Structures are given as structure tokens and as C-alpha cells.
């Protein structure tokens, strides 16, 4: 087993960077361009808040789909597991994350899970607040607490692009409205979803979210913000559905809960061990960062992070 250090992370980054050539940067996201093609940054934070970083760890990107796990935590807080999963399923989906056809399947009646777009829009409609502004400020305050970063905010240009390019998400949301799945007004649910996607974050922020899930839902001041049962639910959903329709592959090859976004961001959470944040914009056809994915596989192997291995408990026998 390798020892975690900044130097080890630099080496791991050099090994993983060539995989960026296999991906493409999503062209319609503001703040992201071809200059980011070779970019790869990582932060790892341990439960006693030791921080390890390498590469372009400070580069911010829009959260995109990584925002879905925060929305799920808030909805679980607001309504509890039973009510949330009346609105959205908990099964992995083999189709792409913005699939429309899966919604119409008679066997299903609700979106497959909270990590696909339709599921996240349903979940957004559950987050409590009088107005979209209230709901979004609850969302942002929660994220600021978790990441200990009061500067976090939505990028207006990214938000505008989400709204202007949102035809597909609008189709999903209006279909959900037709089946009575949405709790709030359809445009309100969409607006909150678009805002969540547009928050800018760097790899350290992503790692802090992973750590929050990994160390019992405490903020850095020691306040418990989420009960264990909700953390378990979120991590299980991340493991089974967090890496789009490659989640099975990542469960096998990485073996801990992860969530990716089409900005090339990934949140990794190794229960009791560490939070991992990765940013590398080129993504594969399923939406996962190519170099970021390669890096996670390497970290899992070198640092023995696979939850299904016995390596983590070896020392205890």
C-alpha cells in the first residue's frame, strides 16, 4: 500500500493525466473551455482534517450533477426517506442521465433514482421554502456549512446557459408534472435545479462534501447536520447510481461512493477514511471525467480504499 502525501498525489496525477485525451469538454458550459483540456486537480481530506492536494486543485467549475447529492440530503431532512422515495425510485438506470423514455415505462411511474436529471428535479421540488430564492439560499447555506466556504455562489452566466439550454430538462419536468410527481410548481422546481447546477466549486469544496458524508455528517465545527440513516441512504445511492450508467463499473473498479458531474467534477467519499474531490473537465460519452475516473481507480488501488476489500481491517486482526 502506498502512503498518502502531496508527492504521491502529484505522481498519481501525472499517471492519470493522459486519460484526459480520451474525453471531450462539454461545449455549452460557460467558464469551461479548451484551455482546460489538460487540467487535473485533486484534494483529499482525512477525518482529522489533514489536507492533501495536487495539480490544479484550486480551479473552480460548475457543480453540475454533483449538486444532486446536496439536494437529496436536504429533501431527506425535510421529508424523511419514505416520502422522498414515494417521489423518486432508488434503482440504478441503464440509460443516459437525461433519458426521457425511462419515465414512461409503466413498471416505473417515477424517475429511477435521485441522481438522474428527472429524479433530481423531483427531489428539488421537495426542498422546503416559501420561494425559489428561499429554497436556494437554504441549499447554499447548507453547502457553505459543509464546505466551510462562505464565498460559494452561483455563477450567473452558467445559470443563464442552464436556463437557455434547458429544453431537455424542461421536457422531463413537464412530464413529471403530468404524472403528479412534482410537489412545487414545475418552473420553480426547474429554476432551483438550474441554480444548483451553476454553483462554482473547486476540488477542495468537492472533497469537503465527500468528507462530510464519510465522517458522520458533522460540519467542521462539530455540529451534526444530518442523521446517520440519511447519510447511509445518500452513500448507497451514490454507489449504485452516482457515476451515471457506469456506476456498476465504478463500484467494481473503485469501490466507494462517488458522484460525478459533466463539468468533470467528482466527489468521492470513503466512509470513515477520507473525502476526495477531483476536477478534470474532459468527459467520456457517459458524462464521467476520463482522467478523474482514472485517478480514482488508481487511488483506490494504491491506497486500498475499496470498501469491499478486507485491506482496511487487516491491521485490526
Q: How far apart are CA 85 and CA 77, in angstroms?
A: 13
The minimum distance between CB 182 and ligand GLU, in angstroms, equals 16
The minimum distance between CB 99 and ligand GLU, in angstroms, equals 11
The minimum distance between CB 284 and ligand GLU, in angstroms, equals 12
Catalytic: 125? no
- Kindly give the residue spans of alpha helices, DSSP state H, lying in the chain: 6-16, 68-87, 117-124, 132-147, 156-164, 167-178, 186-197, 203-214, 228-241, 247-253, 290-302
Reduced to 3 states, what is the DSSP secondary structure of residue 265?
strand
Catalytic: 105? no
Catalytic: 8? no
Between 263 and 306, whose beta carbon lies closer to ligand GLU?
Answer: 263
Q: Which of 132, 254, 262, 270 is catalytic?
A: 262
Q: How far apart are CA 129 and CA 32, in angstroms?
A: 32
Between 261 and 293, whose beta carbon lies closer to ligand GLU?
Answer: 261
Binding site for ligand GLU (CB under 6 A): 64-65, 97-98, 117, 162, 169, 197, 261-262, 287
The minimum distance between CB 89 and ligand GLU, in angstroms, equals 18
The minimum distance between CB 316 and ligand GLU, in angstroms, equals 38
Q: Which of 125, 244, 247, 280 is catalytic?
A: 244
How many H-runs (helices) and E-runs (strands) does the chain carry? 11, 7
Task: Using the CB atoms, write b or e for 229-250: b if 16+ within 10 Å.
Answer: ebbebbbebbbbbbbbbbbeeb
The minimum distance between CB 239 and ligand GLU, in angstroms, equals 17
Between 118 and 273, whose beta carbon lies closer to ligand GLU?
Answer: 118
Q: How far apart are CA 1 and CA 304, in angstroms?
A: 7
Between 113 and 306, whose beta carbon lies closer to ligand GLU?
Answer: 113
Count other C-beta atoms under 10 Å from residue 150's C-beta: 10
Q: CB-based burial of residue 28 (10 Å sphere; 0-12 exposed, 13-18 middle, 19+ buried)?
A: exposed
Helix, strand, coil abundance in the chain, percent, nearest 5: 50, 10, 40
Between 191 and 305, whose beta carbon lies closer to ligand GLU?
Answer: 191
Q: How far apart are CA 31 and CA 133, in angstroms?
A: 23
Q: Which of 52, 139, 159, 193 is catalytic?
A: 193
Q: Which of 67, 68, 159, 254 is catalytic?
A: 68
Catalytic: 174? no
Catalytic: 193? yes
Q: Which of 19, 52, 65, 279 is catalytic?
A: 65
Between 217 and 281, whose beta carbon lies closer to ligand GLU?
Answer: 281
Q: Residue 115 has what DSSP assignment?
A: T
Active site residue ranges: 65, 68, 193, 244, 262
Amino acid at each position: 500500500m502506498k502512503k498518502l502525501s502531496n508527492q504521491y498525489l502529484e505522481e498519481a496525477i501525472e499517471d492519470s493525466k493522459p486519460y484526459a485525451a480520451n474525453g471531450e469538454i462539454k461545449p455549452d458550459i460557460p467558464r469551461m473551455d479548451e484551455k482546460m483540456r489538460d487540467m487535473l486537480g485533486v484534494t483529499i481530506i482525512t477525518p482529522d482534517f489533514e489536507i492533501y492536494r495536487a495539480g490544479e486543485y484550486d480551479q473552480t467549475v460548475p457543480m453540475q450533477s454533483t449538486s444532486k447529492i446536496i439536494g437529496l440530503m436536504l429533501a431527506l431532512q425535510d421529508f424523511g426517506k419514505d416520502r422522498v422515495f414515494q417521489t423518486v425510485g432508488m434503482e440504478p438506470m441503464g440509460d443516459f442521465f437525461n433519458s426521457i423514455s425511462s419515465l414512461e415505462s409503466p413498471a416505473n411511474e417515477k424517475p429511477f433514482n435521485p441522481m438522474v436529471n428527472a429524479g433530481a428535479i423531483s427531489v428539488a421540488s421537495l426542498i422546503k421554502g416559501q420561494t425559489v430564492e428561499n429554497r436556494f439560499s437554504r441549499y447554499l447555506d447548507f453547502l457553505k456549512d459543509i464546505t466551510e466556504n462562505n464565498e460559494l455562489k452561483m455563477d450567473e452566466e452558467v445559470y443563464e446557459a442552464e436556463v437557455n439550454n434547458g429544453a431537455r430538462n424542461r421536457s422531463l419536468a413537464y412530464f413529471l408534472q403530468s404524472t403528479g410527481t412534482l410537489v412545487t410548481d414545475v418552473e420553480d422546481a426547474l429554476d432551483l435545479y438550474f441554480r444548483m447546477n451553476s454553483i462554482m466549486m473547486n476540488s477542495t469544496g468537492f472533497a469537503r462534501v465527500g468528507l462530510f458524508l464519510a465522517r458522520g455528517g458533522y460540519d467542521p465545527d462539530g455540529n451534526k447536520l444530518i442523521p446517520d440513516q440519511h447519510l447511509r441512504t445518500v452513500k448507497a445511492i451514490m454507489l449504485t447510481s452516482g457515476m451515471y450508467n457506469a456506476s456498476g463499473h465504478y463500484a467494481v473498479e473503485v469501490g466507494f461512493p462517488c458522484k460525478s458531474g459533466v463539468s468533470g467534477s467528482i466527489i468521492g467519499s470513503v466512509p470513515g477514511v477520507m473525502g476526495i474531490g477531483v476536477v478534470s473537465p474532459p468527459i467520456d460519452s457517459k458524462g464521467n471525467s476520463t482522467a478523474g475516473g482514472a485517478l480514482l481507480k488508481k487511488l483506490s488501488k494504491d491506497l486500498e480504499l475499496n470498501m469491499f476489500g478486507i485491506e482496511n481491517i487487516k491491521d485490526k486482526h
